[in-house]
Each structure stands twice: as C-alpha cells, then as structure tokens.
C-alpha cells in the first residue's frame, strides 16, 4: 500500500489514545466521523466493483482523482498530480493490470486521456464521465 500524499505520523500506545478519546469528546466524534466516512466509501467501492466493468471502474477512479488531485489546464485539460502505475490503478479498481492497460489504451485511442510513465492527463472529462456511467 502506498500513500497518495506525504504522511506525517506519530505512534502512540493504545491506552494513551483511548484515554485521550475519553477525555476529549470532540476528538472521539472526529474519529467516529472518519470511521463512518471510510465505511461509506468502502460500501460505495464495493457497489462499483459489482455493478461496473473494468473500463467503467477505471473511468470512475480517474474522475475521482481529477477532482481530488487534478491540476486544471487550458481547454478543460486536467493533469492528475499523482504518479500512479497501472498496477496501482488495478489495485484501486479491483482489476488486473492487463485489464487496466486495455481500458487506458481504449481511452487513449479515443482521445479521452494521454498517459505516460506514471502520468495521466485527462483531455476530455465529458467522455470520461460518460464512460463511468452505468450502461
């Protein structure tokens, strides 16, 4: 597993963390909110995996990455600022690397994206969104 951005972390004992949550209700609520958000995201992903084919899942992921890590350019072009490999995209979509390579090749051939080594540029977001819709 790889983090998408830089991470700063501190290791603390479980007992210390629990005591902090007991004495700080705002922190407890923040942790609970984060857990609920992660569960909802997990449920959403599970539905995507069961209801969409690989090209649709790849398109959904690219739309999401464009929204969260996209750098807008001219004429609606968006460069995804994360250096992701096909293997990492495959892991994120529950697909094989070969299926992801095929989906990306199709998107390239129709002029929807440009790809390079760990680089994705979305040229036509409207087409990408069209691919991500359930047919």
Of the two residues 3 and 122, the one the predictor is more confident about is: 122
Residue 98 — pLDDT band, cuts 50, 70, 90? very high
From CA 98, how far away is CA 96, in angstroms rounded? 5
CB atoms within 10 A of CB 32: 11
pLDDT greater than 60 at residue 135? no
Q: Is 10 exposed, middle or buried (CB count within 10 Å of its CB: 0-12, 13-18, 19+)?
A: exposed
Distances (CA, A) of 72 to 75, 118, 119: 9, 18, 14
Q: Give the bridge partners for 113, in sequence order.
A: 122
Please give the model's pTM, rounded to 2 decimal places. Answer: 0.69
Q: Is 59 exposed, middle or buried (CB count within 10 Å of its CB: 0-12, 13-18, 19+)?
A: buried
Q: Read off the tokens for 85.
A: 């490999």
CATH number of 53-135, picked from 3.40.50.740, 1.10.10.10, 1.10.1380.10, 3.30.1330.60: 1.10.10.10
pLDDT greater than 80 at residue 93? yes
DSSP, res 74: G
Instruction: Give the mean pLDDT of 35-39.
Output: 91
């Amino acid at each position: 597993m790889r983090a998408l951005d830089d991470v700063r972390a501190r290791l603390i004992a479980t007992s210390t963390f629990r005591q902090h949550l007991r004495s700080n209700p705002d922190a407890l609520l923040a942790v609970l909110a984060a857990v609920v958000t992660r569960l909802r995201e997990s449920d959403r992903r599970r539905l995507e995996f069961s209801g969409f084919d690989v090209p649709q899942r790849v398109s959904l992921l690219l739309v999401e990455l464009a929204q969260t890590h996209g750098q807008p350019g001219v004429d609606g072009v968006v460069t995804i600022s994360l250096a992701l490999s096909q293997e990492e995209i495959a892991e994120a979509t529950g697909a094989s690397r070969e299926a992801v390579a095929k989906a990306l090749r199709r998107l390239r051939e129709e002029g929807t994206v440009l790809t390079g080594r760990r680089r994705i540029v979305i040229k036509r977001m409207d087409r990408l969104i069209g691919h991500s819709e359930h047919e």
